[in-house]
Structure 1
Amino acid sequence: MKHYCHYHPNTAAKWLCTHCQTEYCVACMPDADTHRRHGHCPHCGQTLRYLGAGKEVEPFWNRIPQFFRYPFHTDSLLVIGICTFVPLLLPANLIGLIIFLVLLLALFKYTYAVINHTTEGHMTPPPLATAFTGSGFSIAIQHWLVNILAGGLTYSAGMVGGPLLALAATAFVMLVLPANVMILAMEREVGPAVNPINLVSLISRIGWPYFVLYLHLIMMVLASVAVEEFAFQNFAPMLALPLSGFIAGTFALIFFHMMGYLLFQYQEELGFASDFQDETPAPAQDRSRRLEADIDMHVKEGQYDRALAVLKSAVKSNPPHPQRVEQLYRLLTATNNAEELMRHHRILLHWLGDRHEGTAIAGLLKTLTGRDPAFRLDDPELIVHCARALHSQGENREVLKLMQDFHKRFPDSEHIATGYLTVAQSLAQLGLWEKATAFLNFIKQRGAQHPLHGKIDAYLEQARNQQPLRGPAASFDVGE
């Protein structure tokens, strides 16, 4: 059964809280460690069960081109090359035979390492050292022991039931061959790998894709035999032997990688959890991502008070995080929380002004004055900031309301000239040219030290001609 996130129903879940029976996706659990399979439920604090990536990965039959490219990495090519070509240089004596057997063991060890490596979520071959160092050489001996037992089963069936039973036993042994290898790779024991109950259980859990895998095994065996026959018919034995060996080793890595990927794909059915390791680096711990997920979950649960508490705490930082301010604004306006809008109006208006959200500023000011008819902004810089944003979106009458008596309220403000230029531009947009000219003249008389003073004549000329007040045109002339 495919698991979906409780809060993002179209997204596959990666974590399950067995205590509160809630499933989470990666977005809900940004602080969980998928590589260590460790995370805690944000609701109850219990340790989460990791579900893995089995239901997200594409089916193995869609990755056939990637499978055939798999052996052509440096490490895997070196392993195949060493195990194939080095025996040609060995002396024909006991030492040469021992080295040959060691290389054969190393090759089998590496192929089984490919299965485990892929099952853990690695889509690139294991390092070269995996074949020749460390423990694990016994897996090759176990592999051959499984084959011997399979042959013994076929022989015993023939002895007991004659050719017909022997044929049936042979067909069964051939059919469960990939299952033998996969169970041996996972369990590292011969008993489970030859237990018919385990074999049938693995095949039934995977289902029909197992038979697709088996079909690929047959095709690769036939292709390997064809290449070997072609090599020995057309080349000298000294060349044909390493060539056929190299092709056989390449096909072996391809197929063992396919078996590992099939286990990776059906990990939930097989009772383990794994995720892509080569493509998804461990996420850095980021408190902001945890906050983001908590806010999202609280909102989707309808727990607006909790979401508000998280956001209020988050916006206390200096400077406040713009994304948190936006979330606070969206939440307060969606819930029509006029009290909290009043309490946080400075931060919200600054943020809206920075984004030139004039219409939103007009709506917020209307909400604030609706709650308190006597409300007026008392920060001259913020007033001018909002006025410019209002003007940029054509909210010109709101500019006039906001800037009313500005020079009387803040006679010493350095923002008078900038604010009244915005007023003049708004009046011009409304077609009130005489009033616009009056404000421009006020700036000219009172703002002699302001940088705008030198541009006022150009604005006045535009007002006389009833043109939009855009100031002097830019000049690119270079003086001689």
Structure 2
Amino acid sequence: MKHDCHYHPAEPAKWHCGECLQHFCTSCMPDADTRRQHGLCPHCGRTLRYLGAATEVVPFWNRLPAFFRYPFHLDPLMVVAICTLVPMLLRPNLVGLLITLVLVLALFKYTYAVIRHTADGHMKPPPLATAFTGDGFGIVVLQLVVFFLMGGLVFSAGLVGGPFLALLVLAFVVLALPASIMVLAMEHSVAAAVNPMNLAVLISRIGWPYFLLYGYLVLLLLASGAAQEFAYGHFQPWLAQPLAGFLNSTFTLILFHMLGYLLFQYQEELGFASDLQEGDNDQNEQHRDRSRRIDADIDMNLKDGNYDRVLGILKETLKRDPGNSHRLSQLYRLLTARADHAELYRYHPRLLAWLAERNDAAGIKELLQILEQTEPGFRLNDPALAVACAAPLYRQGEYRTLLRLLQDFHKRFPGSDQLAPAYLLVAQALANGLDQWEKATAFLNFIQKKCLSHPLHPQIAGYLEQAGRREPLKGPRASFAIDDSGA
């Protein structure tokens, strides 16, 4: 069943809180551990239920081409080639028969591993070693036992109720056979795989898609039989036999992959959870990123209208990391949207520094106006911050705002090393922006007389010459002349 995230309706949910009755997507739960399927509700702190990929998985009928491509990956191709071609090279003796039997067991072990591998979220086939190493060979024996018990069930039904009951039981056995294979592959239990109630519950939970898949499986079996008949009818036995074996193994892998995918698609209804496994190697590290947890909390509280809670989160974060530009950006947007002038005044030094770094003259102008409204006659008490804010104001043509910002700078900050750059900006604003050359010249003369030790002092004579000619006040021109005096 598909569930959408409560806070991001376009995103499929991955987690569910039984206490809050809310669904959350990956963006809402960046600190959850998907491998251990553990996460805590950001609201009540209770353990969440992991939904896996159940809410976002593509229905199996929309990915039929991928099913047919599945056996042609390198690993399954090698398994099929080894188990099909090697027996043809063996002599028909006891050793050859034993090796052939082992290869048949390996092939069937691999096909059953495909179901579990796919149900766990792996859309790529299991590695070659799965067929030939480790345990799991007993699955073939278990399947033979299941077939024997099902046959015995049909025979017993015939003895008890006659042919009609035998046909009914046979029909159910044939219909439930894919379900039995899926249960056996997942649980490795003969009792579970032959229990009629267990199989009926599985089929009912999946619903009509089970019967749709059943139709596809029947078509696959018919196609496999037709392909093998074609091979035996049109090729010599030495070629027809391996070709028919290859086709049979290929169709079997497709069939078992489809069964595994059906489990993966309906995992929520079947009571387990798994996720797509490819490309998730770094997922846990990303989940541990504390900043993403904070972003998620801010996003959810904003959508719930808990603005005071958002403000509290940002304040706590900025206590630990005062210069975090991302948090300052969020704080600025929140405070301006709420017209919270008191908090804007409280945080104005950091916010103005952040705006200056972004060269945001409009933001600086707006915040200065708010500060003026909050405290009439407001002036910045940090000379470096005042100059940092004045530079983008000059570049964006906000000359009058610049002049108000730097008014009486020499009286408010006597002896400051920011005096020369501050009054140079004032002179440039007066001359280049407002065409007030006499006032601009006066400020340049002030710098020349009062800031003798400042690095800008040698350039002031050039600015005065430009002012005398009514030329735009610009810095010294770059010189590319090579001094050969020391050569």
Report the counterpart of residue 98 of structure 2 in structure 1.
98
Distance apart, 1:37 and its partner CA: 0.4
Alignment of 1:85-124 (within 5 A): 85-124=85-124
> C-alpha deviations, 1:241-299, integer Å up to 9, x for none?
22221222122222211211121111112222111112323321111112222222233
Instruction: Give the conservation status (yes or no) of the 8 Å contact 1:113–1:130.
Output: yes
Report the counterpart of residue 184 of structure 2 in structure 1.
184
Report the counterpart of residue 341 of structure 1 in structure 2.
344
Give the % identical residues: 60
Instruction: Tell me the secondary structure at the aligned position of residue 57 of structure 2.
Output: coil
The one of 343, 356, 360 aligned to 2:359: 356
Distance apart, 1:147 and its partner CA: 3.0
Pairing 1:439–2:443 present: yes
TM-score calculated relative to the size of structure 1:
0.90
Instruction: Tell me the secondary structure at the aligned position of residue 441 of structure 2.
Output: helix
State which drifts further: 225-234 or 151-160.
Answer: 151-160
Instruction: Give the conservation status (yes or no) of the 8 Å contact 2:2–2:54.
Output: no
Instruction: Tell me the secondary structure at the aligned position of residue 7 of structure 1.
Output: coil
Alignment of 1:356-375 (within 5 A): 356-375=359-378
Give, in whole Å, the separation in 2 of the partners of 1:84 and 1:128. 15
Match of 2:421, as an amino acid?
Answer: T
Pairing 1:221–2:221 present: yes
Give, in whole Å, the separation in 2 of the partners of 1:217 and 1:386. 71
Instruction: Tell me the secondary structure at the aligned position of residue 326 of structure 1.
Output: helix
Instruction: Give the conservation status (yes or no) of the 8 Å contact 2:14–2:55.
Output: no
> C-alpha deviations, 1:99-145, integer Å up to 9, x for none?
22222222112111111111111111222222223332222122233
Instruction: Tell me the secondary structure at the aligned position of residue 71 of structure 1.
Output: helix
Instruction: Tell me the secondary structure at the aligned position of residue 63 of structure 2.
Output: helix
Give, in whole Å, the separation in 2 of the partners of 1:307 and 1:319. 17
**Closer/same/farther in 2, CA of residues 64 and 421 from structure 1, 3 Å limit:** farther
**Closer/same/farther in 2, CA of residues 142 and 465 from structure 1, 3 Å limit:** farther
TM-score calculated relative to the size of structure 2:
0.89
Match of 2:418, as an amino acid?
Answer: H
Instruction: Tell me the secondary structure at the aligned position of residue 71 of structure 2.
Output: coil
> C-alpha deviations, 1:206-243, integer Å up to 9, x for none?
23333332333233323322332233234332332222
Report the counterpart of residue 265 of structure 1 in structure 2.
265
Aligned residues: 480
**Closer/same/farther in 2, CA of residues 204 and 452 from structure 1, 3 Å limit:** same
Instruction: Tell me the secondary structure at the aligned position of residue 360 of structure 1.
Output: helix
Instruction: Give the conservation status (yes or no) of the 8 Å contact 1:456–1:471.
Output: no
Give, in whole Å, the separation in 2 of the partners of 1:66 and 1:425. 67
* Structure 1 gaps, min length 5: none
**Closer/same/farther in 2, CA of residues 459 and 155 from structure 1, 3 Å limit:** farther
> C-alpha deviations, 1:44-81, integer Å up to 9, x for none?
32221111111112222222232222223333222222
Match of 2:442, as an amino acid?
Answer: A
Pairing 1:313–2:303 present: no
Distance apart, 1:474 and its partner CA: 4.7
Alignment of 1:19-418 (within 5 A): 19-152=19-152, 172-281=172-281, 282-284=283-285, 285-317=288-320, 320-418=323-421
Report the counterpart of residue 7 of structure 1 in structure 2.
7
* Structure 2 gaps, min length 5: none
Match of 2:138, as an amino acid?
Answer: S
Give, in whole Å, the separation in 2 of the partners of 1:424 and 1:209. 78
Give, in whole Å, the separation in 2 of the partners of 1:317 and 1:3. 37
Give, in whole Å, the separation in 2 of the partners of 1:391 and 1:447. 22
Match of 1:288, as an amino acid?
Answer: S
Instruction: Tell me the secondary structure at the aligned position of residue 16 of structure 1.
Output: strand
Give, in whole Å, the separation in 1 of the partners of 2:443 and 2:15. 64
Instruction: Give the conservation status (yes or no) of the 8 Å contact 1:232–1:240.
Output: yes
